[in-house]
Amino acid sequence: MSDDRIIQLLLLLGALMLALKALSSHRVTLRGLLQTLVLWAIIGVTAVIVMYHRQELGGLLARASEKLGYEQQVVQGETVRIKMSPDGHFWARVQINGVERRMLVDSGATITAISRDTAEAAEVKPALAPPMLIETANGTVQAQPARADNVAIGPLSTRDLPLVVGDSFGDLDVLGMNFLSRLKSWRVEDRTLILEPRKSTGGEEPARRSQARE
């Protein structure tokens, strides 16, 4: 279900509750109705703001947590640990061609997806090919295939990573399974996402920065 549909259902539920309250009351006053309408208007506006600016709000919460000493992303040796954000998701500080972005780690996404702004900042150029159809929570959208020279989370790094670039993603960047699958392992323990590097065995480069190539 899309975010827009959720908002519509919440507002519809509020309107139904208002109607039931009015019908069940023998003494309905104009003042009471106006107060209820104002209350639900405030709830509706708040829901819209939260839904459409959830990434910015999440970023503010993350920065506030770090200032209070609650670091969400921690490097231990070659392992990266990411604590669950207050919104229930895992957000990683990712370097795309050296440009840092806060990305949603989504194991349900087959491929990594970035916004047009992120692609331009990281100098990721979409391929001159027909657009791909990508299934998202908000429906099917078009996106251009592309490749990033380097994608890294702390000491975990991989080269030549396929991804898609789209205007429909807004300012949301998603780190998908095609990055996670290059790791030795990834798992969630005690509300913490744990990412471990794979040892190089030749062929496709694992998600780990090679000191010999630096």
Q: What does the pLDDT look like over 103-156, one tens digit per residue?
A: 999 999 999 999 999 999 999 999 988 888 887 766 788 899 999 999 999 999
Instruction: Note the pLDDT of residue 34.
Output: 73
d(CA 98, CA 151): 8
Q: At residue 176, does pLDDT exceed 70? A: yes
What is the model's pLDDT at position 202? 41
- Cβ within 8 Å of residue 134, ≥6 positions away: 111, 113, 140, 141, 142, 143, 164, 166
Q: What is the pTM of this model?
A: 0.63
Mean pLDDT of the chain: 78
* Least confident segment among 4-13, 29-38, 149-158: 4-13
More confident residue, 104 or 56: 104
Average the pLDDT over 48-74 and give the result.
Answer: 61
Query: d(Cα 112, Cα 101) in Å, to the nearest integer?
Result: 13
Report residue 21: phi and psi, to 5°: -65, -40
Q: Which of 89-98, 164-173, 190-199, 203-212 has the lowest mean pLDDT?
A: 203-212
Share of the chain above pLDDT 70, in %: 64
Residue of higher predicted confidence among 81 and 32 = 81
CA 126 vs CA 50, 59, 195, 214: distances in Å: 31, 27, 28, 26
209 pLDDT higher than 50: no
Q: What is the pLDDT of residue 200?
A: 54
Ramachandran angles phi, psi of 117, nearest 5°? -65, -45
- In angstroms, the CA 103 to CA 80 distance is 15
Q: Which helix (H) or strand (E) holds 150?
A: strand 139-153
For residue 100, is pLDDT > 80? yes
pLDDT (0 to 100) of residue 49: 66
